[in-house]
Amino acid sequence: MNLMQRISRLPSFLVGSTLQTRATFDKVLKFPQDQKGATLMFVPGAFCTSSVMNPLMRKLYGMGYNVVAPADFPYYVGPLANMAPLEQCARSLLKDILWAKAERNLKSLWLIGHSNGGLISLLALDIAEKEGRKEVLNLVKGVITMGTPFKGTDVAVLAQVAVPCCRDIKPGAAILDRIALKKDWIKLSLQSAGDFLVPPENQYPDGVTPVSLAGFQHMDFYVGGDEKVTLTASKIKECLDENNTQS
């Protein structure tokens, strides 16, 4: 992607950032465990509370899936949430996976991660493997990523002084290589093809073929309006149907 293409994507990114920031102050929606489909846990990215996922959770619940969000990652407040190092967030996610398993008596769970949320999901599974946490490994059936910076983003280099997680997502960061080794967990990688923040070519690990969504900005999966949220949900549903998921 050349510089002029990158710059042309900035206005829509700023619109999405504003909508996302506003959504961080909403109350996260809670849904009953009353659907026949699989249970999906929605993992947000940096500068996001779990409430930003409300539109996508609502859409997939309407399609027959059970949905749940983890607790907000550090540092908790509005757009300042989910700024901690990725490993700290991954350990927080592991606690919520086990909470959901016990609270909902789950036999299976899918992780749906946006941006850093995809990295956090895979890192949580890496930690579970290294620590022999079979209750997590036997529960999780797959990971779906959306606009995830598998190869980092140059913007993180500028922000790393103030934002701890950016040290983990600058190009060449060692933890990205560690996460890429877990690519077999990925069942679908959605690529925001019009992304300003994370270049599209950085949104999937080597060996994984992404599904490109034309015109999508980084946050459009959940704040891009009903048409884009519906398309995102439909792609997720197709993946789940292909994997014959049940609760």
For 78-133, the pLDDT digits (tens) are: 788 889 999 999 999 999 999 999 999 999 999 999 999 999 999 999 999 999 99
Q: Is residue 42 part of a domain?
A: no
Q: Is residue 233 part of a domain?
A: yes
- pLDDT tier at 146 (50, 70, 90 boundaries)? very high
- pLDDT tier at 74 (50, 70, 90 boundaries)? confident
Q: Is residue 159 part of a domain?
A: no
For 36-71, the pLDDT digits (tens) are: 999 999 999 999 999 999 999 999 999 999 999 999
Q: What is the pLDDT of residue 76?
A: 63
Residue 125 lies in domain: 3-21+52-151+166-242
Q: Is residue 47 part of a domain?
A: no
Listed residue (79, 127, 74, 68) closest to 101, CA to CA: 68
Beta bridge partners of 113: 43, 145
Q: How many domains does the chain have?
A: 1
**What are φ and ψ of residue 93, in 5° steps?**
-65, -40
- pLDDT tier at 75 (50, 70, 90 boundaries)? low
Q: Which domain CATH number covers 228?
A: 3.40.50.1820
Listed residue (80, 153, 148, 84) closest to 114, CA to CA: 148
| Coil/strand/helix, residue 43 | strand
| Sign of the C-alpha dihedral computed for residues 40, 60, 65 and 102 taken in this order | positive
Q: Note the pTM of the prediction, 2 decimals.
A: 0.94
Tell whether the model's pLDDT for residue 194 goes beyond 60.
yes
